[in-house]
């Protein structure tokens, strides 16, 4: 058994099943260990942003890490934008970064760089293995660290992969910590106060058990249930409470908090403006509104919500109130009709990855009446996550229908994900909102007071020259595709796509 094989065995023993990779020469022993040690499915991504984004989607849905296997500093560098999103989502991910043999690094060969320094801003755990005999223990520890909701990065020099390795037992994963002393009482007292109290949910508070407890709390206290603007993973469905979602723009968020008496945080952090503007506002909850922290995102949020429900004397069960699904839309394509088509057709168990930017704005409110589904969003604002993340979710949940809502500008960052979807027969319907522009940036220009953008501002936010042919792009990577120019065409294309297994792309020609 060489070091690479000992690493792969440690991964299998810790329950790892998938290795997403774009490998190179320094990863060859690890690539061949995927053959000699059965149990880990190797999946090729044609760009590292696809690999890391898919690892994020996989980890969010599987609740355990996938491995990524990347080629030295440049390979990691290409994957950093989506590792940033994974870090913000607190997704378990284990990066294995191949490096030159330990005795070769000092000569500064062309591909040498400071890998740990590249890894640190996106990783909660970083280590470089010192010898082959350390690889299995380092891997077990990386997996245990990642399982706490971290990106863990292990740099694996090539000689450590090919030298003789040894087995190590799996490392125990400690359970999420309980909440701080006094947190439960503070939250309970806040919920007993008069006025409009918000229970702001995030992290595991957005899973079914946490939402069930939150519904009980709301039934007992009359508080409003709210979720973060960009949840990593939110369970939705007719038996779950309908959460209001914090809006995106700061002025909308300020309106949202106007009249609120107090806020209780359960797995969410205090809301901060996504961007700072000249008004100089960062904190979205005004100073006059007290904020009680029931549980931090990494705490046992579900347990804390259950305890809080009991502490406020909540009923054991809260009856669900049903909402009708809309009819299929007809006529012109508009953001509202796109949302309505999805609300009418989205199947039970769907996993929806939303990187639709401006065209998907209506999706969340329109789909309250849909059967149970999971909602994933762009946690770190680094676009190019949607298609990879949807692919990773489909790898984790092959029996579920995945739907990617995708802006055309965002899609172009990691469009190679389509090839991986085709090769792995992933059940993803990709909706590309083809508005031929970076519409959000055009809105931002207007918000910045630019009434008439100049030629450069126009050119730098416009994608129409030349226009992208999404159907051709998709087909070239093995994914069947069609185009929809009206609501009726979208409904027809969606119905056909949802009836077929495997990936498919619909170019949605947003006016
Ligand atoms: C990695 C990264 N680069 C650039 C940006 C800046 N940015 C935010 S949204 C956006 C354009 C999104 O365009 P599209 O996906 O077509 O959606 P639309 O705005 O048209 O709805 C850009 C370039 C970003 N957020 N992340």
Contact (Cβ atoms closer than 8 angstroms) between residue 31 and residue 41: no
pLDDT, average across residues 460-473 = 97
Query: Does residue 366 register a pLDDT over 90?
Result: yes
Q: Does the beta carbon of 470 lie inside 6 Å of ligand 1? A: no
pLDDT at 35: 98
Q: How many residues appear in the chain?
A: 511
Q: What six digits make up the tokens of 127?
A: 């280590």
Contact (Cβ atoms closer than 8 angstroms) between residue 265 and residue 170: no
Please name the residues in contact with 131: beta carbons below 8 A apart, sequence gap of 6 or more. 3, 160, 163
Instruction: Report how far ligand 1's centroid is from the alpha carbon of 383 (Å).
Output: 6
Alpha carbon distance 161, 155 (integer Å): 11
- Looking at the CA of residue 381, tell me the nearest atom of ligand 1: 25
Q: Does the beta carbon of 26 lie inside 6 Å of ligand 1? A: no
| pLDDT single digits (tens) 205-256 | 999 999 999 999 999 999 999 999 999 999 999 999 999 999 999 999 999 9
| pLDDT single digits (tens) 403-418 | 999 999 999 999 999 9
| pLDDT single digits (tens) 58-107 | 999 999 999 999 999 999 999 999 999 999 999 999 999 999 999 999 99
- Looking at the CA of residue 81, tell me the nearest atom of ligand 1: 1
Please name the residues in contact with 93: beta carbons below 8 A apart, sequence gap of 6 or more. 52, 55, 56, 59, 65, 66, 68, 83, 86, 146, 150, 151, 152
Contact (Cβ atoms closer than 8 angstroms) between residue 339 and residue 366: yes
Alpha-helix runs per DSSP H in 93-155 = 102-105, 115-119, 135-146
pLDDT at 180: 86
- Judged by average pLDDT, the poorest of 79-93, 325-339, 477-491 is 325-339
What are residue 375's phi and psi, to 5 degrees? -115, 125
Contact (Cβ atoms closer than 8 angstroms) between residue 256 and residue 285: no
Instruction: Report how far ligand 1's centroid is from the alpha carbon of 461 (Å).
Output: 9
Instruction: Report how far ligand 1's centroid is from the alpha carbon of 459 (Å).
Output: 15
The percentage of residues in the chain with a pLDDT greater than 70, rounded to a whole number, is 100
pLDDT at 114: 98
Contact (Cβ atoms closer than 8 angstroms) between residue 227 and residue 244: yes
Q: Tell me the pLDDT of the chain averaged across its residues.
A: 97
Q: What six digits make up the tokens of 236?
A: 């939705």
pLDDT at 33: 98
Please name the residues in contact with 385: beta carbons below 8 A apart, sequence gap of 6 or more. 53, 56, 81, 82, 85, 353, 355, 378, 410, 414
Query: Does residue 511 register a pLDDT over 90?
Result: no
pLDDT, average across residues 385-400 = 98
Query: Does residue 320 register a pLDDT over 90?
Result: no
Contact (Cβ atoms closer than 8 angstroms) between residue 92 and residue 150: yes
Query: Does residue 343 register a pLDDT over 90?
Result: yes
Q: What six digits make up the tokens of 295?
A: 């549980």
Give the closest residue to 241 by CA, choosing from 323, 163, 354.
323
What crossing angle do the helices spanning 3-13 and 28-36 adopt, rounded to 10°? Answer: 50
pLDDT at 103: 97
pLDDT, average across residues 306-314 = 96
- Looking at the CA of residue 433, tell me the nearest atom of ligand 1: 16
pLDDT at 251: 94
| pLDDT single digits (tens) 135-177 | 999 999 999 999 999 999 999 999 999 999 999 888 988 889 8
Give the closest residue to 179 by CA, choosing from 203, 215, 207.
203
| pLDDT single digits (tens) 8-38 | 999 999 999 999 999 999 999 999 999 999 9
pLDDT at 358: 96
Confidence of residue 321 (pLDDT cuts 50, 70, 90): confident
Q: What six digits make up the tokens of 312?
A: 């406020």
Q: How do beta strands 234-236 and 262-266 pair?
A: unpaired
Confidence of residue 428 (pLDDT cuts 50, 70, 90): very high
Q: What six digits make up the tokens of 97?
A: 């970064």
Q: How do beta strands 234-236 and 373-377 pair?
A: antiparallel
- b vs e for 405-420, b when ≥16 Cβ sit within 10 Å of the residue's Cβ? bbbbbbbbbbbbbbbb
Q: Does the beta carbon of 441 lie inside 6 Å of ligand 1? A: yes
Specify the residue with its C-alpha closest to ligand 1, atom 23. Answer: 438
Instruction: Report how far ligand 1's centroid is from the alpha carbon of 360 (Å).
Output: 13
pLDDT at 295: 97
pLDDT at 322: 83
Secondary structure element (H or E) that encloses residue 125, with its range: strand 125-128
Instruction: Report how far ligand 1's centroid is from the alpha carbon of 81 (Å).
Output: 13
pLDDT at 174: 87
- b vs e for 112-121, b when ≥16 Cβ sit within 10 Å of the residue's Cβ? eeebbebbee
Confidence of residue 125 (pLDDT cuts 50, 70, 90): very high
Confidence of residue 282 (pLDDT cuts 50, 70, 90): very high
Q: Does the beta carbon of 437 lie inside 6 Å of ligand 1? A: yes
Q: Does the beta carbon of 78 lie inside 6 Å of ligand 1? A: no
Q: Does the beta carbon of 409 lie inside 6 Å of ligand 1? A: yes
């Amino acid at each position: 058994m060489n070091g690479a094989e000992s690493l792969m065995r440690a991964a299998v023993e810790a329950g790892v099943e998938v290795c997403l990779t774009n490998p190179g020469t320094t990863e060859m022993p690890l690539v061949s260990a995927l053959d000699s040690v059965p149990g880990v499915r190797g999946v090729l991504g044609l760009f590292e942003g696809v690999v890391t984004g898919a690892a994020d989607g996989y980890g969010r849905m599987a609740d355990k890490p996938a491995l990524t296997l990347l080629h030295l500093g440049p390979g990691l560098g290409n994957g950093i934008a989506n590792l940033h999103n994974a870090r913000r989502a607190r997704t378990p991910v284990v990066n294995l970064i191949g490096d030159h043999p330990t005795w070769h690094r000092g000569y500064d060969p062309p591909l040498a760089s400071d890998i740990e320094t590249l890894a640190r801003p996106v990783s909660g755990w970083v280590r470089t293995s010192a010898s082959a005999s350390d690889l299995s223990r380092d891997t077990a520890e990386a997996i245990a660290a990642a399982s706490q909701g971290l990106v863990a990065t292990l740099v694996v020099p090539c000689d450590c992969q090919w030298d003789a390795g040894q087995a190590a037992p799996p490392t125990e994963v400690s359970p999420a910590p309980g909440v701080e002393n006094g947190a439960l009482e503070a939250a309970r007292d806040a919920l007993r106060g008069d006025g409009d109290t918000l229970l702001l949910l995030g992290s595991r508070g957005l899973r079914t058990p946490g939402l069930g407890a939150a519904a009980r709390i709301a039934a007992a206290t009359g508080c409003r249930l709210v979720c973060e603007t960009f949840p990593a993973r939110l369970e939705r469905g007719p038996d779950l409470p309908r959460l209001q979602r914090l809006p995106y723009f700061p002025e909308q968020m300020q309106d949202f908090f106007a009249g609120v008496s107090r806020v209780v945080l359960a797995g969410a952090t205090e809301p901060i403006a996504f961007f700072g503007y000249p008004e100089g506002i960062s904190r979205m909850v005004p100073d006059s509104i007290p904020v009680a922290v029931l549980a931090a995102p990494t705490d046992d949020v579900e347990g804390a919500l259950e305890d809080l429900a009991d502490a406020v004397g909540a009923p054991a069960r809260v009856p669900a109130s049903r909402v009708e699904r809309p009819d299929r839309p007809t006529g012109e394509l508009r953001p509202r009709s796109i949302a309505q088509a999805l609300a009418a057709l989205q199947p039970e168990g769907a996993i929806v990855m939303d990187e639709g930017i401006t065209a998907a704005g209506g999706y969340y409110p329109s789909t309250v009446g849909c059967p149970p589904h999971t909602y994933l969003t762009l946690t770190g604002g680094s676009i190019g996550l949607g298609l990879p993340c949807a692919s990773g979710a489909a790898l984790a949940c092959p029996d579920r229908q995945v739907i990617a809502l995708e802006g055309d500008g965002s899609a172009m960052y990691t469009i190679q994900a389509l090839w991986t979807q085709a090769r792995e027969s992933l059940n993803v319907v990709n909706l590309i909102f083809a508005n031929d522009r970076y519409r959000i940036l055009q809105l931002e220009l207007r918000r910045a007071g630019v009434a008439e953008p100049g030629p450069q501002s126009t050119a730098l936010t416009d994608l129409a020259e030349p226009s992208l042919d999404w159907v051709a792009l998709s087909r070239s990577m093995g994914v069947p595709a069609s185009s929809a120019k009206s609501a009726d065409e979208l409904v027809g294309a969606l119905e056909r796509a949802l009836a077929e297994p495997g990936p498919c792309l619909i170019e949605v020609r947003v006016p």
